[in-house]
C-alpha cells in the first residue's frame, strides 16, 4: 500500500499559476530592500503588480518578473550605490541632495531611497 502511494504522481504545485510572478517577499530579496520599501513602491505606483483575484483575502501583492527586471534597470537604491562608491548611505544621500538629485521614493524609517539610474549616471555616480 505504501509503495503504491509513493508511485502515484504528486499533486501539481499550487504555485504553477504564479510562475511568471514574484511575491512581495521575493521582490524584497530581488531588489535588496525592506518589506516596507516594497509596500511603499506598490502604494506610490512605482510597482503596479498583477491584479488580485476578487475572492482573494489578505493575499500578498505580486508583480511579474518582467516588471521587476524593468524596475531594476530603471531605478536603484541608495543602499546599493553607497558601497560601490565607498560611502555610507547617509553621506551619499546628502551628496545627492546637494547635487539636486531627488529620489523618486523618499520614505520614512525602513524605506529605502530610490533614485533613477539615469540621474545618477549623469553625475558619473554609477
Is the pLDDT at 31 greater than 70, yes or no?
yes
Is the pLDDT at 34 greater than 80, yes or no?
yes
Rounded to the nearest 10 degrees, how much is the dihedral formed by the CA atoms of 78, 79, 84, 90? Answer: 70
> For all residues of the chain together, what is the average pLDDT?
82
User: pLDDT by residue (tens digit) across 64-77?
Assistant: 999 999 999 999 99
Take residue 26 and report the three cell numbers written for it: 521575493
What is the mean predicted confidence (pLDDT) over 49-58?
A: 68
Domain for residue 105, yes or no? Answer: yes
Domain for residue 6, yes or no? Answer: no
Is the pLDDT at 14 greater than 70, yes or no?
no
Domain for residue 2, yes or no? Answer: no
Residue with cell 502511494: 5
Three-state SS at 23 = strand
Kindly list the distances between the CA atom of residue 78 and the CA atoms of 4, 70, 108, in Å, as whole numbers in the listed order.
56, 18, 14
Domain for residue 27, yes or no? Answer: yes
pLDDT of amino acid 17: 59
C-alpha 34/C-alpha 71 separation (Å) is: 16
pLDDT of amino acid 74: 95
Structural domain of residue 41, as residue ranges?
A: 21-49+61-122
C-alpha 97/C-alpha 119 separation (Å) is: 12
Domain for residue 31, yes or no? Answer: yes
pLDDT of amino acid 107: 73
Number of domains present in the structure of the chain: 1
pTM over 0.85: no
Domain for residue 88, yes or no? Answer: yes
Domain for residue 10, yes or no? Answer: no
Amino acid at each position: 500500500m505504501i509503495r503504491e502511494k509513493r508511485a502515484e504522481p504528486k499533486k501539481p504545485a499550487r504555485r504553477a499559476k504564479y510562475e511568471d510572478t514574484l511575491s512581495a517577499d521575493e521582490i524584497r530579496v530581488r531588489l535588496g530592500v525592506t518589506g516596507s520599501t516594497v509596500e511603499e513602491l506598490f502604494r506610490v505606483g512605482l510597482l503596479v503588480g498583477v491584479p488580485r483575484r476578487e475572492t482573494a483575502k489578505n493575499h500578498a501583492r505580486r508583480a511579474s518578473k518582467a516588471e521587476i527586471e524593468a524596475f531594476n534597470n530603471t531605478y536603484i537604491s541608495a543602499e546599493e550605490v553607497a558601497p560601490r562608491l565607498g560611502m555610507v548611505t547617509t553621506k551619499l544621500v546628502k551628496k545627492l541632495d546637494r547635487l539636486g538629485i531627488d529620489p523618486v521614493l523618499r520614505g520614512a524609517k525602513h524605506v529605502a531611497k530610490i533614485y533613477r539610474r539615469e540621474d545618477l549616471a549623469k553625475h558619473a555616480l554609477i
